[in-house]
Amino acid sequence: MNIQWYPGHMTKAKRAMKEDIKLIDLIIELVDARVPLSSRNPDIDDLGAGKARLVLLNKSDLADERCNNAWASYFEEKGCHVVKVNSKSGAGLKSINGVVLEACKEKIERDRRRGILNRPVRAMVVGIPNVGKSTFINSFAGKACAKTGNKPGVTKGNQWIRLNKSLELLDTPGILWPRFEDQQVGIRLALIGSINDEILNKEELAMELIRFLMSSYPQVLSERYDLSAEDPLEGLMQIARARACLARGGELDLNRASNLLIEDFRSGKLGRLTLETPQQS
């Protein structure tokens, strides 16, 4: 599988983000709780040096709760504040205001010493495409004020969304570029649907998912698909048979079975699953 992010895009996005970060006190970084490392770009650590950091484990409703807790500890150990959220339903969003004040208490104290009272914390939401930035901004701000779209960097003429007397949000999210040096990262991003489906080999991807489930969540395969196979191809064929995925002439339609399995995973029908753990990092 060969997935590329153009270097030209990357340089431009990085430059734009550097400028925007100068304007803010706090970086709110969204990661996908099912793949918290693969869905982040560690360059943000350098770009955001000296800024307060809040990591949101978004889509935590789709991820394994034990792993969510392990990932929260992982990021906390790195000096970030962490909140588990479901931006779609709004779960977890209420606790963010308090955590923001805690994360920025040094800045607030510094302002106070200088006689500046009630200057709001300025924050920027960042993350790779599809991680849920627009959904988060819309739910958190309580109105449809973030535009969806995958343009890297931040549009000019920044607008601030005043959320309350102590917090302002840059209206457009900062789009980070995913990293693909590691093939496993590409596979995980493809599985969560962050990479254009058209450039993927679905059968290969489905077999990667089956391989992962066989080793980490074997009960999922037996419970949902009654799978007894021991190798991924045989597993995919069993799913095709069980779900009557047949092509003309009665052959198994592995492409349809692959789409079905991947869709079941993405929509949470396979249960709450996390594809990587802090121990692997």
In the bound state with ligand G4P, the residue whose beta carbon lies nearer, of 10 and 91, is 91
Cβ proximity to ligand G4P: between 41 and 130 the closer is 130
How many residues are there in the chain? Answer: 281
Nearer to ligand G4P, 227 or 273 (CB): 273
Q: Single out the segment in contact with ligand G4P by CB under 6 A; choices: 56-64, 102-110, 116-124, 211-219.
A: 56-64
Candidates 51, 59, 84, 179; binder of ligand G4P (CB under 6 A) is: 59
- Backbone φ and ψ of 78, nearest 5°: -85, 5
**Residue 134 assigned ligand-binding role:** yes
User: 88 or 107, CB closer to ligand G4P?
Assistant: 88
Return the CA Rg of the chain.
21
In the window 117-146, what residues touch ligand G4P (CB under 6 A)? 127, 129-135
Residue count, binding to ligand G4P (CB under 6 A): 16
92 is in an annotated binding site: no
Compute the distance between CA of residue 20 and CA of residue 2 in angstroms, rounded to an integer: 31
Nearer to ligand G4P, 84 or 227 (CB): 84
Site pattern 80..99 for ligand G4P (x: CB under 6 A): ------xxx-----------
Q: Output the CA torsion 83→89→94→95 (10° steps).
A: -20
How far apart are CB 131 and ligand G4P at their closest, in Å?
A: 5
- Asked if 41 is part of the footprint of ligand G4P (rule: CB under 6 A), the reply reads no
Q: What residue number has its CB nearest to ligand G4P?
A: 132
Q: How far is the CB of 117 from ligand G4P (least distance, A)?
A: 34
What residue ranges bind ligand G4P (CB under 6 A)? Answer: 58-59, 61-62, 86-88, 127, 129-135, 148
Binding residue numbers for GTP: 58-61, 86-87, 130-135, 174
Binding residue numbers: 58-61, 86-87, 130-135, 174
